[in-house]
Amino acid sequence: MPDYPSLTEIDWLDQGAQHMQTATMRQHKKPLYRSVNTRTHGVRHGSGSKSKWERNTKAAAKNQSKNQSMHSGQRHGFDYTPLFKFLLSRVGKNWDEVRSEAVSRLDHEEPISWLVASDLSDGSSFVRIGESSYFSGLYVDDDNKLAVVDVELTPDNMRPFCACCTHTLNGVRLTTPYSDESA
């Protein structure tokens, strides 16, 4: 008679396989960007379609720059808010480790430089992302730690730049009302 594993051994093996599967899933982290809808009616991105009127003309034949792809290299439809919140949550940590993790979870490195300056003199107190979203500017200090450029800047003391939009700083709505003197 063959020696079959007992029911408790099967349960133990099954639990071990589930544990390994969850551990593997935990190691894979979510990307620090998200795709947004760019197909909505009325959304215009300037796709470069005007070049279709300039193709195959005598002037275009003489111009070497026209011998390129019609794709402009613009990237539309990506929201990097998760990256900015990730970077803000890592203030005070070693920049090399933070940057390494961020790069591994991004499609390209450029958005990191939108928020993080190489030193304090290159940094700005806030960075405008989109129409009315602002994030605190960051820089790498002398100890290679990620730091905030203007520690005093909060949603309570930053003034909105217009009355028509809902402005946010680091994802929190500004509490100071708009006034003409702030412009």
Domain boundaries, the chain: 78-182
Question: Of 23 and 106, which is predicted with more confidence?
Answer: 106
pLDDT tens, 58-93?
666 666 555 555 555 555 678 899 999 999 999 999
pLDDT tens, 107-117?
889 999 999 99
Per residue, the 3-state secondary structure of 91-117, as one string, reads CCCEHHHHHHHHHHCCCCCHHHHHHEE
pLDDT for 94: 97
Q: How many CB atoms lie within 10 A of CB 175?
A: 12
pLDDT for 130: 84
> pTM for the full model?
0.66
**What's the whole-number average pLDDT of the chain?**
79
Share of the chain above pLDDT 70, in %: 62
Rounded to the nearest 5 degrees, what angle is found at the Cα of 36, between the Cα atoms of 167 and 166? 10
pLDDT tens, 137-182?
999 999 999 999 999 999 999 999 888 889 999 999 999 888 887 4
pLDDT of 52 strictly over 70 = no
Element (H, E) at 60: helix 58-62
How many CA atoms within 13 Å lie on the side-chain side of 9?
4
Are 140 and 118 within 8 A, CB to CB? yes
Are 79 and 36 within 8 A, CB to CB? yes
Are 82 and 33 within 8 A, CB to CB? yes
Q: CA 24 to CA 132: how far, in whole Å? A: 39
Which structure tokens are listed for 95?
Answer: 């920049």
pLDDT of 134 strictly over 70 = yes
Task: Please provide residue 71's backbone torsions phi and psi, each rounded to the nearest 5 degrees.
Answer: -75, 125
